[in-house]
A and B are shown apart, each in its own frame.
Chain A
Amino acid sequence: QKEVEQNSGPLSVPEGAIASLNCTYSDRGSQSFFWYRQYSGKSPELIMSIYSNGDKEDGRFTAQLNKASQYVSLLIRDSQPSDSATYLCAVNPYSWGKLQFGAGTQVVVTP
């Protein structure tokens, strides 16, 4: 079993709709969680970090964390074609900065 799991997609989302991405992790002691966006041929770009249970909103992005269920999600509201990318979930299962990454979910926003 992979330590950080994501649906690979592609997740097809109509323009203006909400994209919902899910991530589960295996290490119950994980403390920090990140979402990265990666456009094709480019490097990962940090878009959200979340450390405590609940929701965290930043513009059109909302990260949701449930440590009891070992589940973190990302919502993208009012999806735009520019949101078409692969979204990587990253989890910190250690006492410091090493991260474990999921394989990513590809999102395709259709006009």
Chain B
Amino acid sequence: NAGVTQTPKFQVLKTGQSMTLQCAQDMNHNSMYWYRQDPGMGLRLIYYSASEGTTDKGEVPNGYNVSRLNKREFSLRLESAAPSQTSVYFCASSEVIIYGGTYEQYFGPGTRLTVT
């Protein structure tokens, strides 16, 4: 049981290049999330997928697109990378916790992206 996995672990891009960050979970969770983490800013939600077949924007979606490929996989695409997208990207997943109707989220190891 690997939990949440992400690839790649590290990536360096030049401005204008594109790339896709991959995320997969083996916990049979319905919901998946993409965050970015910058120093002093905490975790900010980029996009989320409440269930297979649905995706919605989070707090900072500009410059990103997502695909929920199936229940296990949720990818994040940068179409034209910019230096402002230099960050650490985390994928997370969650399942319904009945009490309070909320979710405990579990995180992948992260992708460290540098855009030059």
Binding site for B on A (CB under 8 A): 4, 8, 31-32, 34, 36, 42-46, 49, 51, 88, 90, 92, 95-99, 101-104
23 pairs of residues in contact across A and B, judged by CB atoms under 8 Å:
A8-B40, A31-B101, A32-B100, A34-B104, A43-B90, A43-B107, A43-B108, A43-B110, A45-B107, A49-B97, A51-B99, A88-B43, A90-B105, A92-B100, A97-B50, A97-B94, A97-B103, A98-B48, A99-B45, A101-B44, A103-B40, A103-B42, A104-B42
Name A's interface SS.
loop
Q: Give bound CA distance, A8 to B42, whole Å.
A: 10
- Assess the B100–A44 pair: CB atoms within 8 A: no
Q: Give bound CA distance, A49 to B102, whole Å.
A: 11
- Assess the A46–B99 pair: CB atoms within 8 A: no
Q: Give bound CA distance, A32 to B103, whole Å.
A: 9
Q: A43-B110, A95-B101, A102-B42 are in contact. List 5 more A-B contacts (CB 8 A).
A: A44-B107, A46-B104, A49-B104, A96-B103, A97-B102
- Contact partners of B42 in chain A: CB under 8 A: 4, 88, 101-104
Name B's interface SS.
strand
- Assess the A92–B43 pair: CB atoms within 8 A: no
Chain B residues touching A, range: 20 to 34
- Contact partners of B103 in chain A: CB under 8 A: 92, 96-97
Q: Give bound CA distance, A7 to B106, whole Å.
A: 24
B58 at the interface (CB under 8 A from A): yes
